[in-house]
Amino acid sequence: MSLFSALSRLVRGDAIGGILLLVAAALAMVVANSPLAPAYNTLLDVRLSVLIEGHGLSKPLILWINDGLMAVFFFLIGLELKREMVEGKLRNPRDVILPGMAAIAGMAVPALIYLAVNAGHAETQRGWAIPAATDIAFAVGVLALLGKRVPPALKVFLLTLAILDDMGAIIIIALFYTAELHTDFLILAIVPLVALGWLNARGTHRIAPMLLIGAALWFCVLESGVHPTLAGVLTAFFIPLKDRFGKSPLHALEHGLAPYVTWLIVPIFAFANAGVSLTGITLADAVSPLPLGIAAGLIIGKQLGVFGMTLALVKSGAARLPAGAGWHHVWGLSALAGIGFTMSLFIGSLSFDDALHLNEVRLGVLSASCVSAVLGYVILRRAGPGTITR
CA dihedral 337, 342, 345, 347 (to 10 degrees): -80
49 sits in which H/E element: strand 47-52
If one compares 80 and 191, the residue with the highest pLDDT of the two is 191
**Domain ranges, ordered by start, for the chain:** 3-382
175 touches 210 (CB < 8 A): no
Q: Lowest-confidence range among 202-206, 234-238, 340-344?
A: 340-344
Indicate if the pLDDT at residue 101 is higher than 90.
yes
Q: Is 51 left (phi over 0), alpha (psi -120 to 50) or beta?
A: beta
Please tell me the distance from the alpha carbon of residue 236 to that of residue 53, in angstroms, as a whole number: 31
* Confidence label for 31 from pLDDT (cuts 50, 70 and 90): very high
| Per-range mean pLDDT, top range of 27-41, 70-84, 99-113 | 99-113
The dihedrals phi and psi of 236, each to the nearest 5 degrees, come to -60, -35
* Confidence label for 124 from pLDDT (cuts 50, 70 and 90): very high
Residues contacting residue 204 through CB under 8 Å, at least 6 positions apart? 210, 240, 243, 244, 249
The dihedrals phi and psi of 245, each to the nearest 5 degrees, come to -100, 5
72 touches 261 (CB < 8 A): yes
Indicate if the pLDDT at residue 3 is higher than 50.
no
Q: What is the 3-state secondary structure (H, E, C) of 258-324?
A: HHHHHHHHHHHHHHHHCCCCCCCCCHHHHHCHHHHHHHHHHHHHHHHHHHHHHHHHHHHCCCCCCCC
Residues contacting residue 380 through CB under 8 Å, at least 6 positions apart? 143, 146, 149, 150, 328, 329, 332, 333, 336
* Confidence label for 320 from pLDDT (cuts 50, 70 and 90): confident
383 touches 329 (CB < 8 A): yes
Tell me the mean pLDDT in the region 105-109: 96
Query: 222-249 pLDDT, tens per residue?
Result: 888 777 878 888 999 999 998 888 899 9
* Confidence label for 216 from pLDDT (cuts 50, 70 and 90): very high
pLDDT of residue 367: 87
Query: 139-180 pLDDT, tens per residue?
Result: 877 877 777 778 888 888 887 887 778 778 778 877 787 667
153 touches 3 (CB < 8 A): yes
Indicate if the pLDDT at residue 11 is higher than 70.
no
Burial class (CB in 10 A: 0-12, 13-18, 19+), 347: buried
Other C-beta atoms closer than 10 Å to the C-beta of 191 total: 13
pLDDT of residue 355: 67
pLDDT of residue 16: 66
| 3-382 is a CATH 1.20.1600.10 domain | no
Please tell me the distance from the alpha carbon of residue 86 to that of residue 232, in angstroms, as a whole number: 18
Q: Lowest-confidence range among 200-204, 327-331, 385-389?
A: 385-389
Pairing of strands 47-52, 55-60: antiparallel
Q: Which of 188, 151, 170 minimizes the C-alpha distance to 78? A: 170
pLDDT of residue 175: 77
pLDDT of residue 90: 65
Length reported for the chain: 390
Other C-beta atoms closer than 10 Å to the C-beta of 92 total: 10
- Enter the pTM of the model: 0.76
306 touches 107 (CB < 8 A): no
Collapsing DSSP to helix, strand or coil, 254 comes out as helix
Counting residues of the chain whose pLDDT is more than 70, the rounded percentage is: 90
Collapsing DSSP to helix, strand or coil, 25 comes out as helix
